[in-house]
Amino acid sequence: MAKSSGHLLKHISERVRDERRRRAWSQQLLADRAKVSRRMLAAIEGEESNVSLTTLDRIAAALDLRLADLLHEPAASESGSFEPILAWKGKSKRSVGTILQSMPATRTVELWELTLAPGDSYRAEPDRRGMRELLYVTAGVLTLDIGGKRQRIAAGKSIAFPSDQKYLYVNEGKTMVRLLKNVID
């Protein structure tokens, strides 16, 4: 069962603050290492900010953690068990992104399930250099825009691409789009 977004925000706030304090780091030091503003970090720790996944990934990397480690309870990360995490919501309540599994690779591999309602989209900021995504569409037709170049991926098809650039997932159809994606670092 995925965590509710309110519970998840509270958990992330506590986890970031606890990990930072465990290292005896100031907010400014962590902000500098994560390449985010101290104000953004303070808002995250104060449960005042609905932070982007890219920002959370930068904070996790600065703490030498995986994004999934930040989102999960520490005991779950250590045991290898993994409850799905609702990590993104679109404009429509039916558009959601869920991390299904995560494991170390060179750094990390995350398995996501993403659902997009008709007319909804997911806009991603560039990941760190060298990161990649592998998508498999299970229902509908996904429009993938990478650098202004659009391509359509139908159910049963897959694509891999470097994710260290801006990209956009769009559901231009009239039915739900569902896909599985691996984020590979």
- Give the model confidence (pLDDT) of 72-129 as tens digits: 765 544 444 567 778 788 899 899 888 876 666 677 788 899 999 999 999 988 888 8
- Of residues 63 and 50, which shows the higher confidence score? 63
Alpha-carbon distance of 63 to 31, in angstroms, equals: 10
Counting Cβ atoms within 10 Å, is residue 91 exposed (0-12), middle (13-18) or buried (19+)? exposed
Question: Residue 79: what pLDDT?
Answer: 42
Structural domains in the chain plus CATH codes: 5-79 (1.10.260.40), 85-184 (2.60.120.10)
Q: How far is CA 80 from the centre of its chain?
A: 19
- Of residues 65 and 171, which shows the higher confidence score? 171
How far is residue 179 from each of residues 40, 49, 114, 139, 155, measured CA to CA in Å? 31, 28, 5, 7, 8
Alpha-carbon distance of 5 to 24, in angstroms, equals: 28
Q: Band the pLDDT of 178: cuts 50, 70, 90.
A: very high
Alpha-carbon distance of 85 to 98, in angstroms, equals: 5
Angle at 74 between CA 70 and CA 78, to 5 degrees: 110
Return the number of other C-beta atoms located less than 10 Å from residue 179's C-beta: 24
Q: How far is CA 86 from the centre of its chain?
A: 9
Question: Residue 120: what pLDDT?
Answer: 96
Percentage of the chain exceeding pLDDT 90:
50
